[in-house]
Structure 1
Amino acid sequence: MRAVVFTEPGPASVLEIVDRDLPPAGPGEVRVRIVLSAVNPTDTGTRSGRGVPDGIAPPRVPNQDGAGVVDAVGDGVTGLEPGDHVWVWDAAYGRADGTAQEYVVLPRRQVVQMNKEVPFAVGAAVGIPALTAHRCLTVAADGPSRLTPDALKGRTVLVAGGAGAVGNAAIQLAKWAGATVLTTVSSKEKADLATAAGADAVINYRHEDVVARVRELSKTGPQIIVEVNVDNLRQDLTLVAPGGNIAIYVGGEVSIPAFQAAFKNVSLDFVLTYTTADEEKDGAVAAVAEAVDSGAFRVGEEAGLPILRFPLERVAAAHEAVERNVVGKVVVEVQQP
């Protein structure tokens, strides 16, 4: 089988396609024939040597997320059989083998069945973005631990960066859960995408006063803020409702105006989907799977998340596109469905 490998950290040019033996599915494992492999910023970070540390040294096959078809199941595996359509998560975290290869073997827990009418692009696009978004939307102590329809009914959510992959997922999942969703973007094109994702109101922070607009749109302020930029923290503390929560899912350095936060009894959480507790991750996977199968999570320009496709032979270009912060979801076409 063909597999993308890097033997040392570096630029996208370190990626090469090699031939490997077909891996067997051991007890409790599932072998998936990968159709689409998604590229996330943490995938390019791992390849470059600046990613999330997981103790695994090269050679490695990159990419955490993907979608495909069950090819074989090992002893003890239940609930899946060859031919099932599936999406996978965290394939390359703590392991040397990600989804940028024709077949990947994973523990049963990391292989999620999806309805056969769901496009593979949807399955490839969930993973890190949707699981991150789910945790951001449920990390508050007074909120639901798992999203379901109406779980956030009556709440207002502010999503910073609504045209990004996590922002798009947060908008779609929050709307599915019944929230009123506000979002910020930096351009008219991104505003169109955030609107397509389902946001109730879109604020272009380059041309509008975000604080004034949010106060106009929400009497109390948002109960939940999903934040992509730590530099926005002071603004978030001004906007967030008393007792609200701010969930930050990116790195960076930040000083916290503690009295301002304390005065409102605000909780501040930092989110990394890789290291969430098993119970939290399982709840997120179950909720996202339900949203996917119900048609509540969509992809494509009409859903605010353009799909940018690259053949396997151009996997380096796919990684470079993510490093350029291209708008949309980058996927690698590994095999035909």
Structure 2
Amino acid sequence: MHDVAAAAGVALKTVSRVVNNEPGVNPVTADRVREAIKRLGYRRNESARFLREGRTSSIGLVIEDVSDPFYSGLSRAVETVARRHGHLLFTGSSEEDPDLEREIVMAFCARRVDGLIIVPAGTDHDYLRPELTAGVAVVFADRPPGPGLEADTVLTDNVGGAARGVAHLIRHGHRRIAFLGDAPSIFTARERLRGYRDALAEADLPYDEALVSMGGADAARLRATLDAMAALPYPPTALFTGNGRLTTQVLRTLAARPGGTDRPALLGFDDFELADLLVPGVSVVAQDPAGLGETTAELLFRRLAGHRGPAERILLPTRIIPRGSGEIPPPARAA
């Protein structure tokens, strides 16, 4: 700034006023200062300014996996809201590892981010208490924090969405419905299993452990699971898959089977790209990752703007998109 002031022939304070768009500078003088700034390639030290003001105009986002289409949609929405509020977004993937989650969060805090959005991998978040006390705003997305920590949380209605999806299959005549879910340690997987069980109970259908498999989208595991279910005396006539990755892997497994007759009906939790172009189209319980990201980010920025109300818990709805695969009736012998 001293060099700019000397080049423009003005006081240092005048340069400061021009840089910060403050009033009281003669337009001709301001133009001369801006020309000197351009000629000298001056850049304002934003880091120093932010630190003086006690903020960094940045937020951190911790998600499971940035390559997952669900989380990439959530991340893009958070970034859009952050940009609208003049903030930069830092993103890290926890890979479902609680220790890595904590490492990323503490790295963001060391860089003095103003706020955090966390999709938790673990269930112990006591490590965040000093950061909350220090004034860092934190909102949890997709999954709640561990017990004992009161914090804003935005969730999808996993139980209700799964229950409506299974009820949809039941309305189309299915009584033997398998549930293929993610690892039971994951909150959303447990909630969707609960919705599955609720729908069976509502229809007075028995819960059969042989029709339930939890453990993620490993191809070999799913192939073995589907083979074992197909060999049951009364095999499932419909499959309910617990997330988009499971759905696509199940589709690959079914496509590799010879013949293709008597293929079970299929309804998945989560929409995914090209689901509408398959034959038949894949019916889904769709959640809204962009809406989840936007709602979470706006809640975070309300906190950053000074909102001091009690911790909020927001539940976002799902919707069923029927495309054909979930509307296939059971074989006549199983109806």
Per the normalisation by structure 2, the TM-score is 0.35
**Structure with more of its chain in strand, by fraction:** 1
**Structure with more of its chain in helix, by fraction:** 2
Per the normalisation by structure 1, the TM-score is 0.35
Larger radius of gyration: 2
